Amino acid sequence: MSAGIVIREAHFPGRAPIDAYGNGGFRFADMSHRGSLLLLPSGIYGWDLEEGDPLMRDRFRRVLDEAASIEVLLVGTGKSIRPIPADLKSALRAAQISSDPMSTGAAVRTYNIMLAEQRAVAAALIAV
């Protein structure tokens, strides 16, 4: 009898720049991750969102839970820029988080710069 594959929620306990992106995933901290990511003050988490999925408020719950440590949220919306829905933008604004949608590539580059500057930045990156 063989044991089934156990899939655990991906989590890297720390902050790290993104070294590379593309082919459906990201490289950071000498690791690779297939799929989308949330980069938060508490760590880097796998994010169950794909390009084209709606940007619904409940998908950003973990971001809102850490709002006290986040000033700017970069939203990498995939290959093309999509607007952040009004209800999500309002929830982020109410939590005093400035949000900026951009392509995932632009979000990765901006995140790395802001992280190096030790800014209170977070990112929600849809894999491309």
pLDDT band at 39 (very low <50, low <70, confident <90, very high): very high
The tally of domains found in the chain comes to 1
- The DSSP-derived string for 83-106 is PPPHHHHHHHHHTT-EEEEE-HHH
Q: Residue 44's domain is classified under what CATH number?
A: 3.40.1230.10
3 is a domain residue:
no
**What's the confidence (pLDDT) of residue 6?**
47
Q: Could you list the residue range(s) of the whole structural domain that residue 49 is in?
A: 11-125
In a domain, 93, yes or no: yes
The 3-state DSSP composition of the chain as helix, strand, coil percent (nearest 5) reads: 25, 30, 40
2 located within any domain: no
Is 4 a domain residue?
A: no
Dump pLDDT digits (tens) for 10-29.
678 889 999 999 999 999 99
In a domain, 1, yes or no: no
In a domain, 15, yes or no: yes
Q: What percent of the chain has pLDDT over 90?
A: 88
| Mean pLDDT within 84-110 | 97
Question: What pLDDT shows up at residue 69?
Answer: 96
Residue 25 inside a domain? The answer is yes
Task: For residues 63 and 122, give the distance between their C-alpha atoms in angstroms, rounded to a whole number.
Answer: 8
Q: For position 2, what pLDDT does the model report?
A: 46
